[in-house]
Amino acid sequence: MLSETKKKEPAALAKLLANEVRNFIDELVIPNEQQLSRKGRRASRMISELTDQARSAGLWGLFYPYEYGGKIDSLEDYLVVAEQEGRTVFSHEIFGSHTALDARMLQKFGNETIYTKFLRPMASGNALPCYAMTEPEHSGSVPGLIRASACLSNGNWHINGRKWFVSNANNATFVTVLVRTTDDEVDIRKTLSMIIVPVESQGFKIERQISVMDSSLKQSEISFNEVQVPESNLLGVCGDGINMMNHRLGIGRLLRSMHWVGLAQRCLDMMGARIHSPRGSTARLQDKQLVRQHIAKAYHAIASAREMIRVAARGVDTQCSSNIEINIAKMAASQALCAASDSAVQIFGAEGVSELTPLSNIIRIARTTRILDGTDESLISSVGRQLIDFYKHQGVYHFN
Ligand SMILES: Cc1cc2nc3c(=O)[nH]c(=O)nc-3n(C[C@H](O)[C@H](O)[C@H](O)COP(=O)(O)OP(=O)(O)OC[C@H]3O[C@@H](n4cnc5c(N)ncnc54)[C@H](O)[C@@H]3O)c2cc1C
């Protein structure tokens, strides 16, 4: 169903935090971006220092559950904060935003043992998660093809299989793995489960690192060879993996989209700065119709995506979330970032494709957004099918 909830102002606290995050990024992160993008030991040390500063300033883990230090519980309210975090590609770790989704999954579907062993250490910065769903042998768009498996014996899960493109596995202390826990004959909605595996478990291996265009998080191929973990490491109910996966994907797509529109806004700001720079003024960029078109189209894409994210996030908050709204918002955010980064690169000329600005990195990230967390084609196909079904049952389409 398309949700029909009312538009509301972001909470005052969220606005305040958004300002603080913006100032933090402007003063402490953006001036250091060139150094951070060189990677290496110095960059890692700098990230750790910035993370400590964000924690001291009360800006770390803002979307964590309240009980674990979070300050914002509404996904819609979080939009104004997340888009500020998203303005730099280095913010995931500094503000703990890339682990908030795992924190919420563990809180919702975990048990006391999971809270103690994984969630609390994560909230205090002593554990890092990653999530393993996609497999090398099969299309990631079809969860029914998942082959990694787990069976319960003598109080332990025995896990076998292989996953790839697992973001951040090289730094993680534990992985949530989506596995098959019953045989093929059973309905797919009862076949998959999520289990938590500490990376030090015997039989767990990082097979190789895979470089992708987006270098902000490293990807790995990992294997499970007779890995054993206690029965209590199961998230939620055995066989409920598809439900949990959909829950995770829904919130995850919106969280990412919020960061992407933030990054798109950064591109728009950079275009504005370039146009009004001495160089842009000499070339009279502000008078050129084609330059105006770049700005107008990027602004349009960002403003539209923000509204779609807001509506979808409100649906999640009010527990009437719609896959249609979430998936449309994800595609709109991805398109906004692709359009804004492409225009910005163009307006910056040779500098835009060089390492002299962050744009060449941003445009690489933008391209991955059309595949990550659901390819354009699979989302379009799913949304189109649901919309056609919707009309069949309702006889009319609703917009808020
Ligand atoms: C930067 C990055 C980070 C990632 N992080 C993680 C992670 O942390 N954990 C994890 O498990 N996975 C991760 N992934 C994997 C990601 O979730 C998958 O790449 C994605 O789900 C698509 O699966 P696939 O790559 O197997 O593509 P496939 O499913 O094989 O699709 C490939 C292409 O086939 C076509 N296609 C597929 N379905 C349809 C359709 N219905 N209609 C028409 N055409 C179609 C499209 O052209 C599509 O792009 C990451 C990927 C990237 C790029």
pLDDT tens for the 400 residues of the chain, in order: 444 445 566 689 999 999 999 999 999 999 999 999 888 889 999 999 999 999 999 999 999 999 999 999 999 999 999 999 999 999 988 999 989 999 999 999 999 999 999 999 999 999 999 999 999 998 988 888 999 999 999 999 999 999 999 999 999 999 999 999 987 667 878 899 999 999 999 999 999 999 888 777 789 999 999 999 999 999 999 999 999 999 999 999 999 999 999 999 999 999 999 999 999 999 999 999 999 999 999 999 999 999 999 999 999 999 888 899 999 999 999 999 999 999 999 999 999 999 999 999 999 999 999 999 999 999 999 999 999 999 999 999 987 6
Ligand 1: does its nearest atom lie under 6 Å from the Cβ of 339? no
Ligand 1 center–CA 337 separation, angstroms: 19
Q: Which atom of ligand 1 is nearest to 214's Cα?
A: 1
What pLDDT score was predicted for residue 8?
A: 60
Residue found under tokens 């500063």: 53
Q: How far is the CA of 245 from the centre of ligand 1 (A)?
A: 15
CATH class for domain 129-235? mainly beta
In this structure, which topology does domain 243-394 adopt according to CATH?
Butyryl-CoA Dehydrogenase, subunit A; domain 3 (1.20.140)
Structural domain spans, the chain: 12-123, 129-235, 243-394
Q: How far is ligand 1, taken at its centre, from the CA of residue 235, in Å?
A: 24
**In this structure, which topology does domain 12-123 adopt according to CATH?**
Butyryl-Coa Dehydrogenase, subunit A; domain 1 (1.10.540)
Q: Is 139 in the pocket of ligand 1 (CB under 6 A)?
A: yes
pTM: 0.95
Distance 127 CA to ligand 1 centre (A): 27
Half-sphere exposure for 46 (CA within 13 Å, toward CB): 18
Kindly state if the Cβ of 44 falls inside 6 Å of ligand 1.
Answer: no
HEC assignment per residue over the chain:
CCCCCCCCCCCHHHHHHHHHHHHHHHHHHHHHHHHHHCCHHHHHHHHHHHHHHHHHCCCCCCCCCHHHCCCCCCHHHHHHHHHHHCCCCCHHHHCCHHHHHHHHHHHHHCCHHHHHHHHHHHHCCCCCEEEECCCCCCCCCCHHHCCCEEEEECCEEEEEEEEEEEECCCCCCEEEEEEECCCCCCCHHHCEEEEEEECCCCCEEEEEEECCCCCCCCEEEEEEEEEEEEHHHEECCCCEHHHHHHHHHHHHHHHHHHHHHHHHHHHHHHHHHHHHCHHHHHCCHHHCHHHHHHHHHHHHHHHHHHHHHHHHHHHHHCCCCCHHHHHHHHHHHHHHHHHHHHHHHHHHCHHHHCCCCCHHHHHHHHHHCCCCCCCHHHHHHHHHHHHHHHHHHHCCCCCC
Ligand 1 geometric centre to CA of 138 (Å): 10
Closest-lying ligand 1 atom to the alpha carbon of residue 368? 53
- Is the minimum distance from the CB of 131 to ligand 1 under 6 angstroms? yes
